[in-house]
């Protein structure tokens, strides 16, 4: 039976990289390797410009009707002065919340072809394979109260609330333990339990789930400041890192740069029903429209969709192999360009992946 996929290209380079993902999907379709129905909708700054809100109701409805959502990127300088309530980022947070995708997988893997692209020494980063599991539906991103108000004495006060309930911690912890079980069976939970009570609860709940349901997975705990340091000092010590929404936002950017190329890394945001797939890089307004953006993170997000939503790991592996092949052939977009390699644009890179899919 055919599955439905909603495409949300979004802003900036989102349009360009989505076009390359669609090329890959079209090829797979013509080969009979998938049976997908596509729809498209607006999200982010383009939605604000066209209909006055970054998250139109129609987009939410379509997302909830779909088996998976593929998202390019949102945001851009022209929307930065807007009120928080209608900024493109609010559209992204809104769709994550509406779909209740609470488990965000951000793999940080070094592509051997790009090992010397990292700012860290190759002997520190070579062979790293970390899965950051970021809670995505709660925490200070959504906690109430929030906002800026004025005190009786005229000073302004800004408030955001770090908020977690036991069930929110349990459900993401279960996912993370399950993923660790299929890997090296090591899970490091990152918190700030020495200072923040809400994350002491986090630590206790993760420990209880581990003891009761996943005794075969080795669980460790780390304070977030130490984790940030250890990621740079000795990243190979990590297998799966489980953490809160805010800490995961920060640590996943850090982990991505161990690989040298944020333009290469995909992500999956999973809920109990739907799932959202997007590259972890942003909309890169500075290079939007120039045809030079790297489409590989978007294409690798498509691979994650085949693995986690469509149950077709063989197709996921085929896409990943095709990406390896174009890197082996020496093709590079500007962001990953190295001496002696062939610089190509967005469309040429996408076409090369499609050609390699059939090999």
- Rounded Cα distance between 139 and 112, Å, is 35
User: How many whole angstroms separate alpha carbon 354 and alpha carbon 46?
Assistant: 28
Report the DSSP beta bridge partners of residue 275.
270
Candidate list 48, 102, 141, 164, residue with the active-site label: 141
CB of 17 to ligand IPM, least distance (A): 15
Tell whether the torsion through CA atoms of 240, 130, 102 and 64 is positive or negative. negative
Q: State which of positions 234-273 bind ligand IPM (CB under 6 A).
A: 249
Report how far apart, in Å, the C-alpha atoms of 206 and of each of 70, 119, 177, 350, 356 are. 30, 33, 9, 41, 42
334 DSSP assignment: G
Do the Cβ atoms of 42 and 59 come closer than 8 Å? yes
- Indicate the SS3 state at residue 70: strand
Half-sphere exposure of 237 (CA within 13 A, CB side): 13
Considering the candidates 249, 277, 308, 335, report the single residue annotated as catalytic: 249
Between 18 and 92, CB nearer to ligand IPM = 92
Is 249 an annotated catalytic residue?
yes
Measured between alpha carbons, how far is 86 from 80 in angstroms, rounded to an integer? 10
To ligand IPM, the closest distance from the beta carbon of 211 in angstroms equals 31
Catalytic: 192?
Answer: yes
Bridge-based pairing of strands 240-243 and 129-135 is parallel
* Binding at 92: pick from Mg ion, ligand IPM, none (beta carbon under 5-8 Å per type): ligand IPM
Residue 100 appears among annotated catalytic residues: no
**Which DSSP state fits 254?**
H
Radius of gyration of the chain (CA): 20
Write out the H or E segment, with its range, that includes residue 169.
Answer: helix 166-181
Active site residue 3: no
Exposure letters 173-200 (e unless 16+ CB within 10 A, then b): bbbbbebbeeeeeebbbbbbbeeeebbe
Q: Which stretch binds ligand IPM (CB under 6 A): 87-95, 203-211, 256-264, 325-333?
A: 87-95
φ/ψ of residue 108, rounded to 5:
-115, 105
159-178 residues in contact with ligand IPM (CB under 6 A) are none
Which of 72, 38, 103, 89 has the alpha carbon at shortest distance from 274? 103
User: In whole angstroms, how close is the CB of 280 to ligand IPM at the nearest point?
Assistant: 6
Which of 67, 163, 253, 341 is an active site residue? 253
164 has catalytic annotation: no
Instruction: Give the number of residues in contact with ligand IPM, rule: CB under 6 A.
Output: 4
Which stretch, 16-24, 64-72, 88-96, 258-266, contacts ligand IPM (CB under 6 A)?
88-96
Task: Point out the residue whose Cβ comes nearest to Mg ion.
Answer: 249
Q: Taking the complex as a whole, how short is the minimal distance between the CB of residue 43 and ligand IPM, in angstroms?
A: 12
Using CA atoms, how far apart are residues 101 and 14, in angstroms rounded to an integer?
Answer: 21
Q: What's the closest the beta carbon of residue 249 comes to Mg ion, in angstroms?
A: 4
Q: Which is nearer to ligand IPM, 106 or 171 (CB)?
A: 106
Span near Mg ion by CB under 5 A; candidates 31-39, 98-106, 244-252, 333-341: 244-252
Name the active-site residue from 167, 216, 225, 328: 225
Question: Minimal distance in Å, beta carbon 51 to ligand IPM?
Answer: 20
- Window of 64-72, 131-139, 247-255, 318-326 that interacts with Mg ion by CB under 5 A: 247-255
Tell me the two tokens of residue 151: 């005190």
Nearer to ligand IPM, 67 or 89 (CB): 89
Q: How many residues sit close enough to Mg ion to count as binding (CB under 5 A)? A: 1
Residues in the chain: 359
Which of 249, 278, 320, 335 binds Mg ion (CB under 5 A)? It is: 249
Q: Is 89 in the site for ligand IPM (CB under 6 A)?
A: yes
Closest separation between CB of residue 89 and Mg ion, Å? 10
Instruction: Please identify the residue of the shown chain whose CB is closest to the bound ligand IPM.
Output: 89
Find the helix packing angle between 224-233 and 245-258, rounded to 10°.
Answer: 10
User: Which residues sit at the interface with ligand IPM, rule CB under 6 A?
Assistant: 89, 92-93, 249
User: Which residues sit at the interface with Mg ion, rule CB under 5 A?
Assistant: 249
Supply the residues annotated as catalytic: 141, 192, 225, 249, 253
């Amino acid at each position: 039976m055919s599955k439905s996929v909603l495409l949300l290209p979004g802003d900036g380079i989102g349009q360009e990289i989505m076009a390359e993902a669609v090329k890959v999907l079209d090829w797979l379709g013509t080969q009979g390797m998938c049976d997908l129905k596509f729809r498209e909708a607006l999200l982010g700054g383009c939605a604000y410009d066209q209909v006055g809100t970054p998250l139109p109701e129609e987009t939410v409805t379509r997302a909830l009707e779909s088996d998976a959502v593929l998202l390019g990127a949102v945001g851009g300088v022209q929307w930065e002065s807007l009120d928080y309530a209608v900024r493109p980022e609010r559209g992204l947070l809104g769709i994550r919340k509406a779909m209740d995708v609470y488990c965000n997988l951000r793999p940080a893997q070094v592509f051997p072809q790009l090992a010397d692209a990292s700012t860290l020494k190759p002997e520190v980063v070579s062979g790293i394979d970390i899965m950051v599991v970021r809670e995505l539906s709660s925490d200070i991103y959504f906690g109430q109260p929030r906002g800026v108000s004025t005190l009786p004495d005229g000073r302004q006060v800004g408030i955001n609330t770090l908020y977690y309930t036991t069930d929110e911690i349990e459900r993401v912890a279960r996912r993370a333990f399950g993923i660790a079980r299929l890997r090296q069976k090591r899970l490091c939970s990152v918190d700030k339990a020495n200072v923040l009570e809400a994350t002491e609860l986090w630590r206790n709940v993760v420990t209880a789930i581990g003891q009761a349901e996943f005794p075969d997975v080795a669980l460790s705990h780390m304070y977030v400041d130490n984790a940030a340091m250890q990621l740079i000092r000795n990243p190979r010590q990590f297998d799966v890192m489980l953490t809160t929404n805010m800490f995961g936002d920060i640590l996943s950017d850090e982990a991505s740069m161990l690989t040298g190329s944020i333009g290469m890394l995909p992500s999956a945001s999973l809920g109990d029903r739907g799932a959202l797939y997007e590259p972890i890089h942003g909309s890169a307004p500075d290079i939007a429209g120039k045809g030079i953006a790297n489409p590989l993170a978007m294409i690798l997000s498509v691979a994650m969709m085949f693995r986690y939503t469509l149950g077709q790991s063989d197709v996921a592996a085929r896409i990943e192999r095709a990406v390896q092949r174009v890197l082996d052939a020496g093709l590079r977009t500007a962001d990953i360009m190295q001496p002696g390699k062939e610089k190509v644009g967005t469309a040429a890179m996408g076409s090369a992946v499609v050609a390699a899919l059939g090999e």
